[in-house]
């Protein structure tokens, strides 16, 4: 076998329209790793198959396709406003038969009404790439709705796009991104009754943070310290390494 055959190559990225279920939620070539990093974060935080997970903005099941395999039937819940994204993901990333077998609970709603979910309270909540498109009013509404459906030991993981100023508009912005100062995000979370701490988990363009009931402040702070130590000792853990093109093997 030649040396060339041993090399790892970047997969060919097909030409996709903006309404392809993978391309609609972000760069096509980051679909797999963004899902994997969310999955690994949640299991690192303690998520196990018997826990109930709420995936806010579940979209084309970038995380959901992995969680549906992992979680026990009935434990994956998703909130989404675009039903076609979920339909396309079920048809192309899973199968309708498998999807139905796992009994997920998907609610299609844009008003943060979580009362439609039969499951709950939730043990884990994941909010990936939602606040980077949302005005502060909607961020607060989302946080308030979640606060009513969690318990004292629930862990909430979320991302936002950090900037030197905070978005002051009142409209959703998509596919463009809006930015918030870190202090603004912290203030909103605390005013909605959460303990909040930044988290140095890898992401190409956004920052992670953890939320919990105030009684869990020390717990999420310890987790953040462990992740920070991992980031310092493991070169792969940086966003630059996770999302850099595959290099030829030696």
Distance, CA of 202 to CA of 236 (rounded, Å): 9
- What does the angle CA 197 – CA 203 – CA 209 come to, to the nearest 5 degrees? 10
Global pTM? 0.88
Q: What is the 3-state secondary structure (H, E, C) of 124-156?
A: EEEECCCCCCCCHHHHHHHHHHHHCCEEEEEEE
Token digits for 46? 């303690």
CATH superfamily membership of 23-242: Vaccinia Virus protein VP39 (3.40.50.150)
% helix / strand / coil in the chain, to the nearest 5?
40, 15, 45
Domain ranges in the chain are 23-242
Taking a C-beta distance cutoff of 8 angstroms, is the pair 53, 77 a contact?
yes
For the segment 79-90, the average pLDDT, to the nearest whole number, is: 96
Q: Say what the pLDDT of residue 26 is.
A: 80
pLDDT band at 248 (very low <50, low <70, confident <90, very high): very low
Letter string b/e over residues 31-40, b meaning 16 or more CB atoms within 10 A of that residue's CB: beebbebbbe
- What does the angle CA 149 – CA 155 – CA 160 come to, to the nearest 5 degrees? 95
């Amino acid at each position: 076998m030649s040396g060339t055959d041993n090399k790892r190559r970047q997969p060919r990225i097909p030409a996709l329209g903006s309404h392809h279920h993978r391309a609609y939620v972000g760069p096509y070539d980051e679909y797999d790793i963004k899902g994997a990093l969310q999955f690994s974060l949640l299991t690192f935080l303690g998520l196990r198959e018997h826990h109930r997970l709420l995936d806010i903005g579940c979209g084309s099941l970038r995380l959901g396709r992995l969680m549906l395999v992992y979680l026990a039937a009935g434990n994956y819940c998703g909130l989404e406003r675009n039903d076609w994204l979920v339909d396309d993901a079920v048809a192309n990333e899973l199968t309708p038969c498998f999807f139905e077998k796992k009994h997920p609970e998907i609610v299609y709603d844009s008003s943060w009404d979580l009362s439609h979910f039969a499951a709950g309270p939730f043990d884990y909540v994941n909010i990936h790439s939602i606040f980077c498109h949302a005005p502060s009013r909607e961020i607060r509404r989302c946080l308030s709705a979640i606060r009513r459906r969690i318990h004292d030991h629930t862990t909430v993981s979320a991302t936002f796009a950090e900037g030197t100023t905070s978005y002051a508009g009142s409209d959703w912005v998509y596919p463009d991104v809006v930015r918030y100062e870190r202090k603004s995000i912290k203030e909103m979370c605390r005013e909605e009754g959460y303990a909040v701490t930044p988290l140095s988990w890898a992401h190409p363009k956004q920052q992670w943070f953890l939320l919990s009931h105030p009684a869990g402040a020390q717990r999420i702070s310890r987790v953040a310290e462990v992740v920070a130590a991992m980031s310092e000792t493991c070169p792969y853990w940086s966003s630059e390494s996770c999302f850099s093109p595959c290099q030829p093997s030696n």
